[in-house]
């Protein structure tokens, strides 16, 4: 063989290898919708934007003060804190008010939603000065009627202190004076909480509270004077960190109503098992098996999430962890409960005709960076089949985010699924972005991602992320739409006008103007937050405000109630009232079921709920399209 021939063959081999790599890369790319297809999908939606917080002002912060241990990574530490919830601050049943946490001023403000009238002046929920250390900052607010008097209270959670319960004084007009602050735990403790949810976990008829904590208990992360070796640490791993704050579940144990309201909760020890000290960023509550005891999903940063199956009884809260099954084509990190990704949001929905709820999880899925994946855990079969598997410790859910088109969205936080055009199927939104600046920090972060776990928990050994660092600071929020009931989702956020590139953290979804179309609020980090009012050509819907009897003739949201709608073709659709799922975003406690092209003027609905004594009831009724407020009393049950 001549030298020239050998050289030519080596070059041919190189070219062939390169072409093979290019072919494999091309085959691995997800299908892309054409501009015409995107425009057709976008025509089903229209939104009008309204600011719900002031434009940026002189003096507003864009960075937090931090402990000396974190002085080189202030942008990283300052990346969370925006949260939003919808509630009825006036004591009514319509959630037309907004509770917004704005990190620019570290305030928790309640205000009327745009378009609902100037019914009262915005006001701030703030604990007494003596109870608010300088190193504490609010992270989120969770509305719920905790003392069951028919007036919605608000739980505010923080970095730097344990949560505060702002209990509503009955009969007073909305304002700061209409709420009285009570400590959740006494004496107060130093927690660093990033997630909260609520449900009746032990089935006694009363709401319990669950909190996901991030930095270790006692760590004064935002205290520039704090020197706490052993507490002011970072995650001990990027894939299996278990040195974070302690997650806590507190069970309702009593309440006082009237002008001096109070409520008591007792911690349920061991509820989270071995996963109690993950770095938790999101939580979700939903009944996955139809036994009227909600499960709890815990989304952890830097390590495996947890699906906790409810095996509780009144007065005793117990969970069993369930994990998914790895198949021959399943990457290890796409197995439910075995992932090593950065879980930052969770939502429950139905992506197909099956009756088992599906689970959406937001992770980092940044092209050419930390390209992990969002999750879309789907399960086939019946709730009974799912229940048998779950109680054996096996999650019957497999990830289908890639074929569904939901896997790649950038640096993802909150995720919400809702039917914005009332066609009967959900749209999916992701709040995205990390820190916005001018100096790209991805090379340093990639280097950190390859570091040895033995050094990761030392913040001084992290690369510098000072003010001005740019890490996925201009990702666009998503608005995924599906053509029909099967196939891939397509992101049309830009075409619809909701694809902001502000760094976003949370969504709250609800019909604030009671026109039968869902609106939503997005909470932005270090930027004004926005409500998007739905003005699209939506189909008809069935709106349900399911209520339970409360004190003095008032009613309260029936958290945990289930509605099953039967369509004329025999198809059943089931929704549950669990508004507090995700990362710092709380929906209105209502159900809006889109009716699509259904011509029926009356529709059969089956309602199931647990009363204040823990008993489960079922009621069948027939309803017309439109809004209905239904009090779930025992006399009407059967």
636 pLDDT above the threshold of 60: no
| Radius of gyration of the chain measured on its C-alpha atoms | 24
User: What confidence score (pLDDT) does residue 273 get?
Assistant: 84
User: What confidence score (pLDDT) does residue 39 get?
Assistant: 94
Q: Give me the mean pLDDT over the 479-497 stretch.
A: 93
| HSE-up of residue 82 (Cα within 13 Å, Cβ side) | 32
| pLDDT tens sequence across 200-229 | 999 999 999 999 999 999 999 999 999 999
| pLDDT tens sequence across 81-111 | 999 999 999 999 999 999 999 999 999 999 9
User: What confidence score (pLDDT) does residue 638 get?
Assistant: 44
| pLDDT tens sequence across 267-312 | 999 899 877 999 999 999 999 999 999 999 999 999 999 999 999 9
| pLDDT tens sequence across 421-444 | 999 999 999 999 999 999 999 999
Q: Give me the mean pLDDT over the 534-548 stretch.
A: 96
User: What confidence score (pLDDT) does residue 43 get?
Assistant: 96
Q: Give me the mean pLDDT over the 489-505 stretch.
A: 97
Q: Provide the edge-to-edge strand list for the sheet that holds 427-432.
A: 364-365, 410-418, 427-432, 480-482, 489-491
**Model's pTM, two decimal places?**
0.95
User: What confidence score (pLDDT) does residue 21 get?
Assistant: 53
pLDDT, mean over the chain? 93
- CA 189 vs. chain centroid, Å, equals 25
463 pLDDT above the threshold of 70: yes
The answer to whether 276 touches 265, Cβ cutoff 8 Å, is no
In terms of phi and psi (left: phi > 0; alpha: psi -120 to 50; beta: otherwise), the region of 83 is beta
Q: Which of 25-39, 41-55, 619-633 has the lowest mean pLDDT?
A: 25-39
User: What confidence score (pLDDT) does residue 18 get?
Assistant: 64
Q: How confident is the model at residue 382 (pLDDT cuts 50, 70, 90)?
A: confident
368 pLDDT above the threshold of 90: no
| HSE-up of residue 627 (Cα within 13 Å, Cβ side) | 14
Q: How far is CA 226 from CA 31, 68, 202, 219, 537, in A?
A: 51, 7, 39, 8, 55
CA distance 539 to 486: 19
The CB density around residue 543, as the number of other CB atoms within 10 Å, is 20
- Which H or E run includes 547? strand 541-549
| pLDDT tens sequence across 36-85 | 999 999 999 999 999 999 988 887 889 999 999 999 999 999 999 999 99
């Amino acid at each position: 063989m001549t030298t020239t021939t050998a050289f030519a063959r080596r070059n041919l081999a190189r070219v062939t290898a390169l072409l093979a790599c290019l072919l494999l890369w091309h085959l691995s790319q997800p299908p892309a919708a054409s501009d015409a297809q995107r425009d057709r999908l976008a025509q089903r939606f229209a939104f009008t934007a309204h600011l719900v917080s002031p434009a940026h002002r002189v003096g507003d912060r864009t960075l937090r003060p931090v402990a000396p241990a974190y002085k080189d990574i202030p942008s990283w530490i300052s990346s969370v804190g925006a949260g939003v919830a919808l509630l009825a601050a006036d004591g009514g049943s319509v959630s037309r008010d907004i509770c917004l946490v704005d990190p620019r001023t570290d305030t928790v403000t309640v205000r009327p939603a745009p378009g609902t009238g100037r019914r009262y002046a915005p006001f701030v929920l703030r604990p007494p000065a003596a109870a608010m250390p300088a190193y504490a900052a609010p992270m989120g607010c969770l509305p719920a009627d905790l003392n069951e008097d028919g007036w919605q209270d608000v739980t505010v959670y923080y970095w730097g202190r344990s949560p505060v319960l702002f209990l509503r004084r009955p009969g007073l007009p909305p304002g700061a004076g209409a709420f009285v602050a009570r400590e959740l735990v006494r004496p107060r403790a130093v927690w660093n909480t990033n997630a909260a949810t609520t449900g009746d976990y032990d089935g006694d008829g009363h709401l319990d509270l669950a909190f996901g904590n991030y930095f270790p208990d006692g760590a004064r992360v935002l205290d520039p004077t704090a020197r706490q070796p052993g507490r002011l640490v970072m995650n001990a791993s990027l894939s299996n960190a278990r040195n974070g704050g302690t997650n806590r579940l507190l069970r309702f144990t009593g309440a006082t109503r009237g002008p001096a309201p109070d409520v008591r909760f007792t911690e349920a020890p061991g509820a989270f098992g071995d996963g109690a000290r993950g770095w938790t960023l999101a939580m979700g509550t939903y009944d996955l098996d139809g036994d009227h005891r909600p499960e709890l999903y815990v989304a952890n940063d830097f390590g495996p999430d947890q699906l906790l199956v409810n095996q509780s009884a009144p007065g005793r809260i117990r969970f069993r962890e369930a994990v998914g099954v790895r198949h021959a084509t399943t990457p290890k990190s796409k197995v439910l409960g075995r992932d090593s990704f950065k879980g930052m949001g969770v939502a429950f929905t139905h992506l197909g005709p099956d009756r088992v709820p599906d689970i959406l999880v937001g992770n980092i899925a940044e092209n050419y960076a930390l390209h992990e994946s969002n999750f879309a855990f789907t399960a086939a079969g019946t709730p009974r089949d799912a229940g048998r598997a779950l109680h054996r410790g096996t999650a019957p859910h497999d990830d289908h985010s890639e074929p569904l088109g939901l896997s790649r969205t950038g640096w993802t936080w909150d995720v919400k699924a809702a039917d914005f055009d009332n066609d009967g199927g959900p749209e999916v939104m992701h709040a995205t972005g990390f820190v916005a600046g001018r100096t790209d920090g991805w090379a340093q972060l990639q280097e950190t991602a390859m570091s040895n776990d033995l050094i990761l928990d030392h913040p001084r050994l992290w690369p510098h992320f000072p003010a001005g660092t740019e890490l996925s600071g201009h990702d666009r929020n998503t608005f995924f739409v599906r053509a029909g009931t099967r196939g891939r989702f397509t992101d049309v956020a830009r075409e619809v006008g909701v694809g902001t590139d502000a760094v976003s953290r949370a969504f709250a979804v609800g019909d604030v103007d009671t026109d039968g179309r869902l609106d939503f609020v997005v909470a932005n980090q270090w930027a004004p937050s926005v409500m998007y009012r739905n003005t699209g050509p939506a189909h008809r819907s069935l709106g349900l405000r399911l209520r339970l009897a409360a004190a003095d003739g008032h009613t309260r949201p029936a958290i945990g109630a289930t509605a099953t709608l039967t369509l004329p073709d025999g198809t059943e659709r089931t929704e549950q009232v669990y508004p507090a799922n995700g990362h710092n975003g709380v929906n209105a406690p209502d159900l809006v079921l889109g009716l699509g092209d259904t011509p029926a003027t009356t529709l059969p609905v089956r309602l199931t709920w647990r009363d204040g004594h823990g008993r489960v009831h079922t009621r069948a009724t027939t309803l017309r399209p439109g809004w209905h407020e239904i009090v779930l009393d025992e006399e009407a049950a059967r």
